[in-house]
Amino acid sequence: MNTNRHNSFNQIHKGLRAQLYDTALKIQQTDMSQVEAAAPVIEQIEEVLFLFESHAHGEDHYFNEPLEKTNPEVASLFEKEHVEDHRLADVLSSLIASYKEAATTDARAEKGKHLFYAFNEFIAFNLYHMNKEEIELNAALWDRYTDSEIKSIEQTLVQSIPPQKMMKYAKWMIRGINNKELIHWLEEVRAFAPAPVFEMLIVIAETELPTDRYQLIARALKYEVKAA
Ligand SMILES: [Fe+2]
């Protein structure tokens, strides 16, 4: 992998992986036979499906479809993987529906186990898939575009995401990236996006990060940390 080139997927994929890992651990720690304990986990799995689905659409529309003419093999490889990804998401959606219909403790435990295994399949597929995009799809994009062209496609993609949904992605990206990446991202947002966007991300960072880490980020940005 050419680390000098712009990896358009790095940050969003780290966010999505953080969401997968966190959700997987929560499923493992939850007694799925209990409706109240399971409810927030089910909701989190639904959020995973929501964010992965629209992420795949964005990649298809902005990256794979434009590659169809110049690099049809790579474009169709990743479009097909998104079809498989969608199938795995459908399996999860129907397992969630049957979990919600389960009326006894035993039935919920049983459905919960199916859901856990299906979620693991979803993770396994997506971990391979995202690696492959960062290696093979990036190679095709780097071949065809300059870094500034890739950044401008990325910008168009990001701007197409409604603010409410963007905040959900942002939460996981903030949780999933390292300090250097977070500082760089926030600097770019502060320089190029409307001020409220930066303020909103700062609030999410303050909420999501441990205090010492948040303070380190705020100091690096010369952003005034409010006294506790
Ligand atoms: Fe993808």
144 has a pLDDT exceeding 60? yes
Distance CA 3, CA 81 (A): 24
Distance 86 CA to ligand 1 centre (A): 11
In CATH, what is the architecture of 10-161?
Up-down Bundle (1.20)
What confidence category does residue 90 fall into, taking pLDDT thresholds of 50, 70 and 90? very high
Distance 33 CA to ligand 1 centre (A): 33
Distance 52 CA to ligand 1 centre (A): 8
Torsion of CA 146, 148, 150, 154, to 10 degrees: 180
- Whole-Å CA distances, 109 to 36, 37, 142: 13, 12, 48
Distance 134 CA to ligand 1 centre (A): 9
**Is the pTM higher than 0.85?**
yes
Q: What is the pLDDT of residue 1?
A: 63
Distance 127 CA to ligand 1 centre (A): 10
What are the sequence ranges of the domains in the chain?
Answer: 10-161, 178-228
Distance 58 CA to ligand 1 centre (A): 9
Q: What is the pLDDT of residue 200?
A: 95
What would the pLDDT profile of 7-51 be if each residue is shown by its tens digit?
A: 999 999 999 999 999 999 999 999 999 999 999 999 999 999 999
